[in-house]
Amino acid sequence: MSLRKFLIFHPILMLSAFIGTADGYYEYTMAECVYSTSDYSDMVYLVSLSFNKVVELQYNSSLGKFVGFTEDGVKQAENFNKNQALLQQLKADGDTSCRSNAQVLDSSVRDKAVKPKVKLSSVKQAEGRHPAVLMCSAYEFYPKKIKVSWLRDGKLMTSEVTSTMEMADGDWYYQIHSELEYTPKSGEKISCVVEHASSSQPIVKDWNPSMPESERNKIAIGSSGLVLGIIIAAAGLIYYKKKSSGRILVPNE
């Protein structure tokens, strides 16, 4: 098969030929569409030909030709560059497939926004002179740009706030965490505010200082256990009573 056919039918092609047992060679062609503007004016189509991890030569649509990077790659590039039909085909492929793929991907991924899941939790409770620490986490949002802030009775808190960078989850989504160190006062309202493109309104989570969620969970589990225990004990008692009342007692004379 000619290189041209490879490139047209297999934009991303991975080919490995194994010779002998453990040793082998890995040869692959990678086609990339690189752009950062929404009108695709800076679109560059790159086709890289590699052998064992080394890029030997690359077609670059901005240059309109191949460039060799290794001794062998330079020779191959020279040969390919003599083939005007191949160069024109690559240019046309870049223009058509890069743009149409980019349009599809942009409409299904880049222009979409996914609302973060916001969780407010207690890291440390106030103890004596040590302040309390709260953490506000936003998970699984897209795109990356986000703003997390804290309010105390509606007023923005600036000091004692530490935030992590937005972290990529590796699946297009991001997460971020913000910690607030503060000295609790009774009757106050602490809120975490998350602003993101997925929601026209800020997402606000209020902190319930009387009982952190983990404590509530412990109490819920504990009381369910207690109720279950009472039911089992009552059932046992009823069973025991029935059994013992059914027994005929013969008095000792």
Ligand X SMILES: *[C@@H]1O[C@H](CO)[C@@H](O)[C@H](O)[C@H]1NC(C)=O
Name the residue with tokens 């047209």: 8
Residues at the contact surface with ligand X, assessed by CB under 6 A: 44, 46, 60, 62-63
Long-range contacts of 78-86 (CB under 8 A, 24+ apart): 80/3, 85/4, 86/3, 86/4
- The burial class, CB within 10 Å (0-12 / 13-18 / 19+), for 68 is buried
Nearer residue to ligand X within complex by CB, 30 or 133: 30
Q: How far apart are CB 162 and ligand X at their closest, in Å?
A: 38
Nearer residue to ligand X within complex by CB, 63 or 105: 63
Nearer residue to ligand X within complex by CB, 46 or 114: 46
133, 180 Cβ separation under 8 angstroms = yes
Q: How far apart are CB 32 and ligand X at their closest, in Å?
A: 8
Q: How far apart are CB 76 and ligand X at their closest, in Å?
A: 17
Q: Which two structure tokens, joined as six digits, stand for 45?
A: 């189509």
Taking CA atoms, 43 is separated from 36, 46, 68, 85, in Å, by: 8, 10, 21, 21
**Local structure of residue 239 (DSSP, 8 states):** H
Q: How far apart are CB 60 and ligand X at their closest, in Å?
A: 4
Q: Which two structure tokens, joined as six digits, stand for 194?
A: 């998350």
Nearer residue to ligand X within complex by CB, 94 or 212: 94
Q: How far apart are CB 37 and ligand X at their closest, in Å?
A: 15
Q: How far apart are CB 105 and ligand X at their closest, in Å?
A: 20
Which has the closest alpha carbon to 106: 46, 157, 35? 35
The strand pair at 24-34 and 44-51 is best described as: antiparallel
Nearer residue to ligand X within complex by CB, 44 or 113: 44
Nearer residue to ligand X within complex by CB, 44 or 133: 44
Q: What is the spatial distance between Cα 9 and Cα 12, in angstroms, rounded to a whole number? A: 9
